[in-house]
Amino acid sequence: MNTSTQQLVNKVLDAHGGIQNAGKFQTLKLHTNIGGAVWAVKGHENALADVEFTGSLTEQKASWKNLFQSGYTSSFEAGKVALYDEKGALIEELKNPKESFKGHTVETPWAKAQLVYFSSYATWNYATAPFNFLVPGTEITQLEDWNEKGAILQRLEVIYPDGFATHSKRQIFYFDADGLLKRHDYWPEVLGGSSAVQIIENHKNFDGIVTGTKRNIYALNDTDNSYSTDLVLVSIDILNVSFE
């Protein structure tokens, strides 16, 4: 990447706690309440109400507690997900889970294990950005600034490598004057490539790492890069974060 892009990446990483501090930790834990319209459409309303997420900071591995309001737990890695009942017995699993979404649209119902895959990789990505920009093979390019309702935001186009579990290879991140992540655009392949924008607010410091604790996801209009807040597709309220 060129010098200007590298300078912006460095500013952004520093604003969120810095590489040196982030590198001290191996695991993150989130207590969160996730809502929005998409879960009912997929047949699993309130599936992620009051849940706990644990994710590795060195590889794409994660787990949930209290899924589907049933005390269910899960395991996730890029090539496999599994759902377990309160006693630890296997309920569902998916190998090569991304393949199971072929032909899906926003309206296509999900099996429980598909919801586990989507919510696991998405939350892992949200929780590790912008530090996941450092994943080997990731390409980063600075785009022209964007005027977001009067606020000038700097933008980075991030292209993740093949095999990395995420919404879409190409994503765009927007940062304020302090380098904090304020907006995130992507095109979820498991939802048929529909366009989405995440608005990130209420940044807080946890163990020296800064992250937005209020996140709402809306439909993105690719024609003019705008979005309407009338329908919240996904809402994420992060109640606590800890690192180990």
Reading the block at residue 106, the tokens are: 């926003």
Mean pLDDT, the chain, whole residue set = 96
Q: What is the pLDDT of residue 106?
A: 84
Q: What is the pLDDT of residue 1?
A: 84
Distance of alpha carbon 39 from alpha carbon 157, whole angstroms: 28
Sequence letter at residue 35? G
Q: Are 82 and 75 in contact (CB under 8 A)?
A: yes
Q: What is the pLDDT of residue 142?
A: 98
If one counts every other C-beta atom within 10 angstroms of the C-beta of residue 83, the result is 24
pLDDT tens for 169-206 read: 999 999 999 999 999 999 999 988 899 999 999 999 99
Residues comprising the chain, all counted = 244
Give residues with Cβ within 8 angstroms of 91, minimum separation 6. 72, 83, 84, 85, 112
Reading the block at residue 155, the tokens are: 């933008």
6 φ, ψ to 5°? -60, -40
pLDDT tens for 63-81 read: 999 999 999 999 999 899 9
Could you give the C-alpha distances from 176 to 83, 125, 135, in angstroms and in order? Answer: 38, 20, 23
Distance of alpha carbon 50 from alpha carbon 52, whole angstroms: 7
99 φ, ψ to 5°? -65, -25
pLDDT tens for 9-60 read: 999 999 999 999 999 999 999 999 999 999 999 999 999 999 999 999 999 9
Q: Are 122 and 171 in contact (CB under 8 A)?
A: no
Q: Single out the residue of 11, 6, 7 nearest to residue 180, CA to CA.
A: 11
Show the CA angle centred on residue 6, arms to residues 133 and 182, nearest 5°: 55
Strand 170-175 versus strand 181-186 pairing type: antiparallel
With bands split at pLDDT 50, 70 and 90, how would you rate the model's confidence at 105? confident
Q: What is the pLDDT of residue 193?
A: 85
Reading the block at residue 226, the tokens are: 């705008």
Residue percentage of the chain with pLDDT more than 70: 100
Residue 1 vs residue 195, higher pLDDT: 195
Give residues with Cβ within 8 angstroms of 32, minimum separation 6. 48, 51, 52, 53, 123, 236, 237, 238, 239
